[in-house]
Structure 1
Amino acid sequence: MHIEKGGENVKLKEVTKLRGVYSHKLYQVAEMCNIFEKRVFIREADYVLKEYQNLVVEVFRHGYDERKMSDVWTFPAALMYSLSIITMIGYGNMVPKTAYGKLATVIYALFGIPLYILYFLNVGDALAEGFRWIYRWMYKCGTESGNDVTESTKRIIVPSTACLWVIAAYVLTGAVMFGAWERWDFLDSIYFCVTSLCKLGFGDFVPGANIYAEAGSHNGNQTKLMINFVYILFGLGLVAMCYNLMREEIRRETEGV
């Protein structure tokens, strides 16, 4: 964040320069053309404007952002960028512009991705153990014999349907949250949550687009972006949990065969 925040938005300077150059060209066209030669003026002005339009479109294709670097690289936005690197989601909405930023990204990925894999394994095991205990406790409370089933409950395997219900509830919660904050429709919100938790990261929907666009509530919007970060990070842990529980069920079924 510190490296990129102090950098300069080269594309912004380029567009500002283009605007000045083509404003001067339009002034020259107006100065050269006779006021009675309307068709000539329209033709020449149209040529200048189309040339300017094509250049601006080309700049947009190469990542033009009209915001200053200090507005882009806020702390919550940098957290989301870091998360997209180590989880390998890679939304692609934020990219380093400076050479030092690109170098820092490479080094961060080399060390961060192995740490995320450890997080995925360890947090998945911990959440699976906790969910397994809750499921067995609920099973024990639902039986009539109470303490007599203590030994049998230890052999109970959490079914895959329970895991799917947990993931479905989490995705629906995220869909409601992102739909309200990002102004996406329900299907787009579901699509974003599923692709993010599956680590696809197409980049067509990215948290923070409308958050940045809103004015007058900067602090609240940054808080929402932090919550988005926690949602995705914890959701990836839930995916690891469900993977462990479903693997356990499949292993038990295989042993039974």
Structure 2
Amino acid sequence: MGTTRKEGSLYTRLDGGLAILEFGHPSSNSLNSELLSRLCKEIESLGANTEIALILIQSEGDRAFCAGASFDELLEISTPEQSTAFFNGFARLINSMRTCPIPIIGKVHGKAVGGGVGLIASCDYVMASDKASLRLSEIGLGIAPLVIAPAVERKAGVSGLAELALAPSEWKSAYWARERGLFSKVFESRSDLDKETEFFAADLASHSRDALMLMKRALWEGTEHWDDLLTSRAAMTGKLALSQTTQQTISAFKKKR
């Protein structure tokens, strides 16, 4: 069962040097502005805690991992400032994960769309279920996955980004994602995913925090310009989201869900 809170939910559990961060939203764990902001603040807080060596991110329920941007909020946006601010929430989340001084492990139990794929790509190591297929549906909605593109490209390469972004109605399997580097390991059952992720994360968190921090920094070398890059991409996406065609497409798509 997932959360019933309309604003979404966010919980953190500490287990030694491991912080387990779980988010949820009744609309397939989609991300609204409030939840994006809370995720950023919690990641920054955990990263600053010298007792924590590793963060594990997971989502609630047993269906979708993350449906990406909240369609409800997208349809309420009416000004360029609001639109840019909404997509800048995804830019801030990716940059918070990027600059977090300790590694972030992702546990992906189900499907991910749009911004959910960006969240996955921003993790340093990802364990997934074989049911965890991926899709970038933005082009089909009249937007473009510009904000998350650098994170996806960093893991899957330009060709992998193109395969996802330019086929907006096509789901890519968990095994495709593993081959492309978006997933590190794929498991055939949820129980195996839960068990192996718990063991892996606990073991990794038991190692030197200093060593993990240096490794994290090395993994993200060359991305120092992302603060400006993702902010500019958010403004571009915000303009696209305000078009009448995009709003009508999102509205129609929401009704089918």
TM-score by length of 2: 0.24
Structure with bigger gyration radius = 1
TM-score by length of 1: 0.24
Counting strand residues as a fraction of each chain, which structure ranks higher?
2
Structure of greater relative contact order (alpha carbons < 8 Å, 6+ residues apart): 1
